[in-house]
Amino acid sequence: MQYMGGKARIAKDIANIIIDASKGKNLTYVEPFLGGCNVAPMIVPSFPSRAFLSDAMPDVAALWSAAISGWVPPEEVSRDEYGMLRHDSPSALRGFAGFGCSFGGKWFGGYASDGKGRDYCRSARRAVLRDAAVLRNFGARVACKDYAELRVHGGHVVYCDPPYAGTTGYSGIGDWDPDAFWHTADRWVSRGAVVFVSEYSAPPSWEMIWEKEREMCLNLSGKGRVSVERLFTKRIEG
């Protein structure tokens, strides 16, 4: 499903690194920023019944929890329905419309329509059903939790795709504090967890282990700025 900042185009690269780092260690996979669920379906099959996924945004957690339980997104969300859902209570449908039916996958960033007949809603529906089936088949669990609430320890491998520093956050979950996040990630590593973080940059104690140029397309011309996606980890000292 399209999602602002989603990792669909680089998910396989990230997944391969995390899976390789976890081989033979019998770890539990933890993903605290599930979002559009681009990476999890590629990793979860390597952790059957040992995957815990979460997101602090109620609509995101509701969408994936419901889809795993058998909820089927609609084939169509009208422009009027889209407008009404913007002001509705959190729900799976609101999460689906707010991201999947929005231009560029930006949370209620404008009804997605390019005037050329592309069906954004059905495309998002197919993606949700496909990814939810993988999560269901391999016993993944989804919860609505803030990353700071998670009890991460040495039995976990964690992949974080947090809001990037300096970017726009989502309404209803408060302002993003990157310093607090990195402090928490440091604490997880000190407890023995294997932690990977997607960001453009990281504190000096974190090592960049992968990078790739990626075009960020946010206009109808199909052109956008080029950014460099990076993956960081931190080695356990001693």
The mean pLDDT of 199-217, rounded to a whole number, is 89
One DSSP character per residue, the chain reads ---TT--TTTHHHHHHHHHHHHTTS-PEEEES--TT-SSHHHHGGGSTT-EEEEESSHHHHHHHHHHHTT----S---HHHHHHHTTS-S-HHHHIIIIITBGGG-TT-SB---SS---HHHHHHHHHHHHHHHHHHTT-EEEE--GGG----TTEEEEE-PPPTTS---TTS----HHHHHHHHHHHHHTT-EEEEEES---TTSEEEEEEEEEEE-STTS-EEEEEEEEEE-PPP-
The mean pLDDT of 87-99, rounded to a whole number, is 97
For 25-56, the pLDDT digits (tens) are: 999 999 999 999 999 999 999 999 999 999 99
**Which of 19-23, 53-57, 225-229 has the least mean pLDDT?**
225-229
Domain residues for 20? 12-73+134-233
Determine how many CB atoms are found less than 10 A away from the CB of residue 76: 10
Using pLDDT thresholds of 50, 70 and 90, give the confidence band for residue 220.
very low
For 53-88, the pLDDT digits (tens) are: 999 999 999 999 999 999 999 999 999 999 999 999
User: 224 vs 76, which has greater pLDDT?
Assistant: 76
Which CATH number goes with the domain that contains 220? 3.40.50.150
Are the beta carbons of 138 and 51 closer than 8 angstroms? yes
Residue 6 to residue 169: CA distance in whole angstroms: 14
Percent of the chain at pLDDT > 70 equals 89
**pLDDT attached to residue 168:** 56
* Residue 226 in domain: yes
* Residue 174 in domain: yes
The mean pLDDT of 174-200, rounded to a whole number, is 95
Residue 58 to residue 68: CA distance in whole angstroms: 15
pLDDT exceeds 70 at position 111: yes
In one letter, which amino acid is 68?
A: I
For 112-170, the pLDDT digits (tens) are: 986 654 689 999 999 999 999 999 999 999 999 999 999 999 999 999 999 977 655 55
Using pLDDT thresholds of 50, 70 and 90, give the confidence band for residue 236.
confident
* Residue 163 in domain: yes
- 118 Cβ contact partners less than 8 Å away, ≥ 6 residues apart: none
pLDDT exceeds 70 at position 237: no
**Which of 151-165, 180-194, 222-236 has the least mean pLDDT?**
222-236
* Residue 125 in domain: no
- Count how many domains the chain has: 1
* Residue 229 in domain: yes
Are the beta carbons of 160 and 136 closer than 8 angstroms? no
Tokens 């391999």 correspond to what residue?
A: 138
* Residue 118 in domain: no
* Residue 238 in domain: no
Q: Which two tokens stand for residue 195?
A: 């932690």
* Residue 26 in domain: yes
The mean pLDDT of 103-109, rounded to a whole number, is 91
